[in-house]
Structure 1
Amino acid sequence: MRQQLLEMLMNHQGEFLSGQQISDQLNCSRTAIWKHIAELRKQGYQVEAAPKKGYRILSSPDAVTADEISIRLKTEKFGRQIVSKESVSSTQEIAHKLSHEKCEEGTLVVADEQTGARGRMGRPWQSPKGSGIWMSLILRPEIPLQRAPQLTLLTAVAVVKAIHKVTGLNAEIKWPNDILINGKKVVGILTELQAEADRINSVIIGIGMNVNLSSDELPDEIRGIATSLQIETGQAIRRADLIAAVMKEMELLYKQYLQEGFHLIKLLWESYALSLGKRIKVRTISGEFEGFAKGITDEGVLLLEDDENQIHQIYSADIEIPRS
C-alpha cells in the first residue's frame, strides 16, 4: 500500500491529493494514510500536508529502496521481486542464498553499500554508501552450460544502452566484463553460476556501477583508471532511474536471446566493443599473448590474431589496450 501511495504522489508531483482521493483509491482509512506518510518521511521523502488540501510530495531521496525502484519499473519480471538493504557484505552472497531458496527468476538484490564485495579474480570492489549501484540479478535460463558466458556480454550491452538513455553518455565495452567511458572504468560485471554437471540452476549477475562519486571520493589507487557517471556528466544521476532502465534493457535482450539465440547480442556487443580491431595484450593463466582483437565467437569467446597470423581463442583473461 505504501508503494501505491508513493506512486500516486509521484504521478501528481506538485499537486495536492486529498485524503479522500487517496482513501477511495487505496481502499484504506485516513489513519492508515497518515501512518504511511510518516514512514515515507522517515525514508527521506518530503511530503507536505495541508488542511483541506491533502498531501503533496515536494522531494524524494536518491534512494535504492524497493519502493523507489518499483515505481519506475517497466518490466514484466526483472526487478518485480526486490530485496533492498542499506548495507551488506555483498549482494552476490545474498543472491546466492535466495537462489538456493528457489526465489523467482528476475529477483533483484540491491544495496546502498557493500563492505566486502569482490570482482573478477577475487579483486576487492569499492562500494561506498549512497554513491553507486551495487546489485545482483538472479536468472534461470534453460540453456547449455557452455553458453552461460554469453549472459555477461548480454548484460554489458544492456548496461551500455541504459546508461545512454538515462545520461546521454556513450560507453564502451572492454571484454569480458568492464564498461568504460572515455577510457576509464565505470561499471564492472560479475557472473556466477549455480550449476550441476549438465544443467544450469541459476546465473547470478552482479553489477557494480560508479554513479555519483566525485573525483575526490575515488580511491587513490584507481583514480587514474576509473570514473563515475557524475564526473562524466557534471551532474548527479538518480540511481533508481538507472536501475529501472537497466532492468528494462536486460529483460528485452534476455527475451530475444532465449527466443532467437546469441547472434543479435553478438552484433550489438561488437558495435560497442572498445578493443575490436585494436592491438591488445592478453594475460591468461597459460601465458601472455599480443595481437589484434578480431571479434568474438558465437559462444562469446574473444578472438585474437597474433603477429604470425595465428588465431587464439581467449576464454578468460585480463586484457590491456596499449596506449598509442
Structure 2
Amino acid sequence: MATKDKILEMLQQQDSFVSGQTLCDQLGISRTAVWKNINALKEDGYVIESVNNKGYHLVEEPDVIDPKRIGEYLHTQWLAHNIVYDKKMDSTNTQAKILGESGGDNGTVVIAEQQTAGKGRRGKTWVSPMGNCYFTVLLRPDVHADRASMITLVSALALAQAVENVMGLRTMIKWPNDVIANGKKLCGILTESSSDLEYINYVVVGIGVNCNQTEFPEEIRDIASSICLETGKKVDRTRLLAEFFNCFEVYYEKFLETEDLQGLVEDYNARLINRGKDVKIVEKEQETVLRAIGVDQRGGLIVEDKAGVQRSIISGEVSVRGLYGYV
C-alpha cells in the first residue's frame, strides 16, 4: 500500500485529529513526507483540516469511486474480483473488448469516472459527465451465440434491483433494457459480443447510470433523470456498483442454468412498465398499436392485437414507445 493510502486509512479510522508525530512514528516517515502526502490527498479531492498542535482531521471524502471499498460490500463468488479502474478512458466497452481479445478473466470489470468516447445503442454517443457510473462487465458464457442478447435484460433487472436496494427508489423497466424511475430513464445498457461460429468468445455489458447528475440537455430533459434527482439524495456510487455486481451474479447464474430467461421471467415482468398497456410498435417506419403482455423465455416482448392474437417481437428489429410519450 502506498504511503498516501496508509495515511488516508489512518485518518478514516479516527473521528478526531491524528497528530503528525503519530503518522511519522507509525509509518516511519518524516514530517515533510507527511505534509507532501496530505497535500496529495487534498489534490485528490479529500477535505483535510490541519491544526497546529492537533494534526490532521479528515472532514470529507471526494465523490469518487473507490475500487478497494467495493470489496467491503461485495459478496460475489467470481464477479468483480478483478477491477480495472481509471478516472478517464475512451470507453469502458472498448477497454473491456481489448481485455476480452487478450485473455481477460471472466467477471473482470472496467470502471471509469468519465468517458471521452462512450458508446450508446445503434452507434450513438453516450454523453459521460462526472458524477455517474460508467462500467463494463467482461463475461465468457458457455452458451449459444444467439443467447447473448438476453444478458442485456438480465443486466437491466439487476440494475433495477440494485438501485432499489441501495436507494429505496422504486424502479421499473421499459423493454428491453431501460431502467425507469417516475417515468424517466436512469441508464443505458450496451451489450456487445464476439462469437466464433455458434459459440461466444466473450460478451461485454456496458452500463451508464445517471447517479449524481443534476442537469440534462434540453432535448432529453423530459425523458431522462438521475437517481439523485428522483430521491433528493446523493448516491454512494461505490456501494451502488457493488450491489449491482451482487444482484447481477445471482440473476446471471440463473440465466446460465437454463440458457434463457426461464428463471427470471416472473421478476422481469413484475417490473415491466408497459405490461398490460397499449404501446406503439414501430417496425420498418410503420406504427402499430398493440398491448404489451410481458416477456417470454427468450427475452422477446409478447404483444397482443385487438383480436387477441399474440406474437413475440425481438429487440433490435422494432422500437416500443408509450402511446403518449417515452413510456
**TM-score, normalising length: structure 2:** 0.85
Which residue matches 2:219?
221
Which residue matches 1:12?
13
Which residue matches 1:232?
230
C-alpha separation in 1, matches of 2:194 and 2:320: 26
For residues 20-99 of structure 1, the aligned pairs below 5 Å read 29-31=27-29, 34=34, 39-46=40-47, 57-99=58-100
Structure 2: which amino acid aligns with 1:211?
C
Superposed displacement of residue 203, structure 1: 1.1
C-alpha separation in 2, matches of 1:306 and 1:122: 32
Secondary structure of 1:44 counterpart: coil
For residues 82-121 of structure 1, the aligned pairs below 5 Å read 82-121=83-122
For residues 1-324 of structure 1, the aligned pairs below 5 Å read 1-2=1-2, 5=6, 8-9=9-10, 12=13, 14=15, 29-31=27-29, 34=34, 39-46=40-47, 57-128=58-129, 130-214=130-214, 217-259=215-257, 262-285=261-284, 287-316=286-315, 317-323=318-324
Maintained 8 Å contact 1:62/1:240:
no
Bigger mean CA offset, 165-174 vs 311-320 = 311-320
**1:10 to 1:167, Cα distance in 2 relative to 1, 3 A:** farther
C-alpha separation in 2, matches of 1:6 and 1:256: 43
C-alpha separation in 1, matches of 2:277 and 2:8: 48
Superposed displacement of residue 193, structure 1: 0.7
**Per-residue CA shift, 1:257-312, capped at 9, x if unaligned?**
33465323211111111011111112234844321111111111111112233322
**1:283 to 1:5, Cα distance in 2 relative to 1, 3 A:** farther
**1:145 to 1:185, Cα distance in 2 relative to 1, 3 A:** same
C-alpha separation in 2, matches of 1:249 and 1:300: 19
C-alpha separation in 2, matches of 1:10 and 1:276: 51
**1:12 to 1:264, Cα distance in 2 relative to 1, 3 A:** farther
Secondary structure of 2:240 counterpart: helix
Maintained 8 Å contact 1:65/1:85:
no
**1:42 to 1:11, Cα distance in 2 relative to 1, 3 A:** closer
Secondary structure of 1:137 counterpart: strand
Superposed displacement of residue 70, structure 1: 4.2
Superposed displacement of residue 85, structure 1: 2.1
Q: Which stretches in structure 2 are left out of the alignment for 5+ residues?
A: none
Superposed displacement of residue 81, structure 1: 1.7
C-alpha separation in 1, matches of 2:226 and 2:156: 16
Aligned residues with identical type, % of pairs? 33
C-alpha separation in 2, matches of 1:191 and 1:126: 17
C-alpha separation in 2, matches of 1:265 and 1:23: 55
**1:247 to 1:219, Cα distance in 2 relative to 1, 3 A:** same
**1:281 to 1:244, Cα distance in 2 relative to 1, 3 A:** same
Superposed displacement of residue 172, structure 1: 0.5
C-alpha separation in 2, matches of 1:242 and 1:180: 16
Superposed displacement of residue 108, structure 1: 1.2
Secondary structure of 2:202 counterpart: strand
**1:319 to 1:12, Cα distance in 2 relative to 1, 3 A:** same
C-alpha separation in 1, matches of 2:195 and 2:116: 27
Secondary structure of 1:163 counterpart: helix
Q: Aligned-residue CA RMSD in angstroms?
A: 3.1
Bigger mean CA offset, 47-56 vs 265-274 = 47-56
**1:175 to 1:9, Cα distance in 2 relative to 1, 3 A:** farther
**1:59 to 1:77, Cα distance in 2 relative to 1, 3 A:** farther
**TM-score, normalising length: structure 1:** 0.85
Secondary structure of 2:80 counterpart: coil
**Per-residue CA shift, 1:39-59, capped at 9, x if unaligned?**
544422345688999876432
C-alpha separation in 2, matches of 1:276 and 1:83: 38
Q: Which stretches in structure 1 are left out of the alignment for 5+ residues?
A: none
